[in-house]
Structure 1
């Protein structure tokens, strides 16, 4: 009788242990999610595409690698050939012992995300580039999807959250879903505040703008997602 019951008791204990482990693991994920809230897309953008939230593939740096890379002569796929624009994108970008096709796919995915987002909302696409959410967007657009260069040009005039040194003077508008969280400040070289905002508490649906005076040494913003010229 004991021999028949012992496996059943062990199974119950094992199930309980697995349940406790799953609960503990789930709690850890919740804590991590709460401590790293994702950046907010522009208020005018449509509901985000689930694919947009997918993490960038591991080993896909924004800039070219600093370590040894494959020489251009060895940038060949397992089958077929790379196009000329693809070779230019891959040049100096593929770490040794890495499949060039995998690196190319990273750039193609960046292009596809920009293309897909721009189809719904061009401001959202520009904002995602300014905020750094599309990894390696500049080189990907330049070589793999040049039709998106107008968006890249607009993004290069933008300002992301954080501190920007010697920003171009002018009026900018914030791309954010939560204007109530957005605050900004323009400072001179000696740290004097030249301008700040918003002037009054913002609420959902408000369009926020910031005028950066000439001679601003630093422009700092928090909770504004991204700024583009108004």
Structure 2
């Protein structure tokens, strides 16, 4: 009996010791694991992400660099100086012309047209005729006979009066066509030439001029290589491919 009690008593005494030993040697699965040292060091070394402080700095920088933030609005514009003199727009000055230019421009400038442009046309025409007159004066007379123009006559009278003798000579000549004999009016509605002696400019090869009496009979036909006499008894003159005739 005594030996059995001793073994039971010994077993009871050993149970706490075995439980303590077991708890020390077996880790508790429910307890949280200690953080990894490498993870702690990595977390410590990782720089912090900029947050609201950097955003605030960016916002301040953007406001400072925005030109619209510094520009004053319409309501912030500076008040006008009450002592400042406000100048109203002045009309463009009227062009001034000398007497010959005014003479040429009279009646030639429609409303809204620049008078300088009109004047330039007349001056250019004078320049052309003056240059031709210096080389061949008869060519100017022939040109004025074949291409009469009121503006050209006005330009000569006002802007280049040295060409007036050529203009007067052209007025007594005549171009190709059919004319009665009477007054010197080769460009009128009923063109006519006055009696006299005429020559063709340049003696063109195919020139033909015929002079007729009042009854229709032919007085003479000529080729233009020599001066032609138109008598007072002549009634009609016909010129073809002679271009221009002027007084010899």
TM-score (norm 1): 0.56
Corresponding residue of 1:195: 220
Distance 2:128 2:115 in 1: 20
Superposed CA offset, 1:170-227 (max 9, x none): 21110136x22111112334433232222xxx8xxxx332221213333221111111
Distance 2:111 2:212 in 1: 45
The 8 Å contact of residues 195 and 211 in structure 1, kept in 2 or not, is answered as no
Corresponding residue of 1:95: 110
Q: 1:80 to 1:131 in 2, by over 3 A?
A: same
Alignment of 1:1-230 (within 5 A): 80-132=95-147, 136-166=151-181, 167-176=193-202, 179-198=204-223, 207-230=225-248
CA-based RMSD: 2.4
Q: How many residue pairs get matched?
A: 146
Q: Extract unaligned runs of 5+ from structure 1.
A: 1-76
Q: Extract unaligned runs of 5+ from structure 2.
A: 1-91, 182-192
The structure showing larger relative contact order (alpha-carbon pairs under 8 Å, at least 6 residues apart) is: 1
TM-score (norm 2): 0.53
Corresponding residue of 2:89: none
Distance 1:140 1:99 in 2: 17
Structure showing greater Rg: 2
The 8 Å contact of residues 195 and 212 in structure 1, kept in 2 or not, is answered as no
Deviation, structure 1 residue 79: 6.2
Q: 1:112 to 1:135 in 2, by over 3 A?
A: farther
